[in-house]
């Protein structure tokens, strides 16, 4: 049916790549090929690609910046749809910013600062898109996506559009109903509060300095690899288990922050999976805590 998928995409004038390595599409820089990959240039094209996959009987996966993904070396079957550069517009209405799903959190934060709107400062350094942030309720330094999002426009697998209020999105810790139901975010309404641009900028620079000081930003990673266990921090548990700097192949526990697993060059997805299992076993043995991955493991 894969050949049929290509024909259906072509019939809808949707450009696609065959066998695109997902290592090019994830911040971990690992992952095998996608059977088909489309960069959606707009919500209508996204809906059309989803419909083509359904008609071909193939699975479809929608991703943003790939900053929270670990794709197996065998790759991804069916269709991967990347929210492309044509879906990055940000507009203002009162104290609300409407951002298309492909806009990065950094860009939204910069626009908010320029507009004198506060609330995005702590999220400004997360290397993801607003669509992805809604799916996983991304957060940093005490602020979560749930704190600023009032609603999101989503597509289901049939390509039908609906508008979900925050209570329907049902944000949880690094989770949402949007992700659980396999919905694709196309746009997000973000409610902020008035602020002084200079003060907002100073706060953003302070958060950026914290990141540079404590996080391994010079090497490919997926951010915090594990969810935060109740009452403690994953990085601290990993460090106490004596795993800081431990490597499997090209995957390593960062010496700078043990909660980050980094690609030192040439790592495979299996290296990260093996390192993840080693960490889980050693931390459980040392502390009785079972770490759960925060990254989505696909393929």
Active site residues: 174, 224, 294
- Residue 184 pairs in a beta bridge with 155
Burial class for 280, CB neighbours closer than 10 Å (0-12, 13-18, 19+): middle
> How far, rounded to the nearest angstrom, does the alpha carbon of residue 80 sit from its chain's CA centroid?
14
* Distance in angstroms (rounded) separating the CA atoms of residues 201 and 83: 28
Contact 53, 11 (CB under 8 A): no
* CA dist 286 → 31, 162, 201, 237, 261 (Å): 31, 47, 42, 8, 19
Q: Label residues 8-39 b or e (16+ Cβ within 10 Å = b).
A: bbeeeebebbeebbbbebbbbbbbbbbbbbbb
């Amino acid at each position: 049916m894969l050949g049929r998928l290509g024909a259906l995409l072509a019939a809808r004038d949707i450009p696609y790549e065959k066998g695109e390595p997902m290592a090019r599409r994830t911040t971990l820089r690992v992952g095998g090929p996608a059977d088909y990959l489309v960069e959606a240039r707009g919500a209508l094209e996204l809906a059309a690609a989803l419909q083509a996959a359904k008609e071909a009987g193939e699975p479809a996966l929608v991703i943003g910046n790939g900053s929270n993904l670990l794709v197996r070396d065998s790759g991804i079957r069916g269709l991967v749809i990347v929210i492309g550069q044509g879906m990055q517009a940000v507009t203002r209405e009162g104290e609300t910013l409407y951002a298309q799903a492909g806009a990065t959190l950094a860009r939204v934060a910069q626009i908010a600062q320029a507009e004198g709107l506060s609330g995005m400062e702590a999220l400004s350094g997360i290397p993801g898109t607003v669509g992805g942030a809604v799916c996983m309720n991304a957060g940093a330094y005490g602020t979560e996506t749930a704190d600023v999002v009032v609603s999101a426009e989503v597509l289901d697998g049939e390509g039908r559009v609906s508008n979900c209020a925050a209570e329907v999105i049902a944000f949880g810790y690094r989770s949402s109903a949007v992700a659980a139901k396999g919905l694709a975010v196309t746009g997000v309404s973000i409610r902020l509060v008035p602020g002084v641009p200079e003060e907002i900028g100073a706060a953003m620079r302070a958060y950026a300095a914290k990141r540079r000081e404590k996080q391994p930003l010079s090497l490919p990673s997926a951010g915090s690899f594990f969810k935060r266990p109740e009452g403690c921090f994953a990085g601290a548990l990993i460090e106490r288990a004596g795993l800081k700097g431990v490597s499997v192949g090209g995957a390593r526990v960062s010496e700078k922050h043990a909660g980050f697993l980094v690609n030192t060059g040439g790592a495979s997805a299996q290296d990260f999976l093996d390192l993840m299992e080693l960490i889980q076993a050693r931390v459980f043995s040392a502390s009785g805590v079972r770490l759960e991955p925060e990254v989505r493991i696909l393929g």
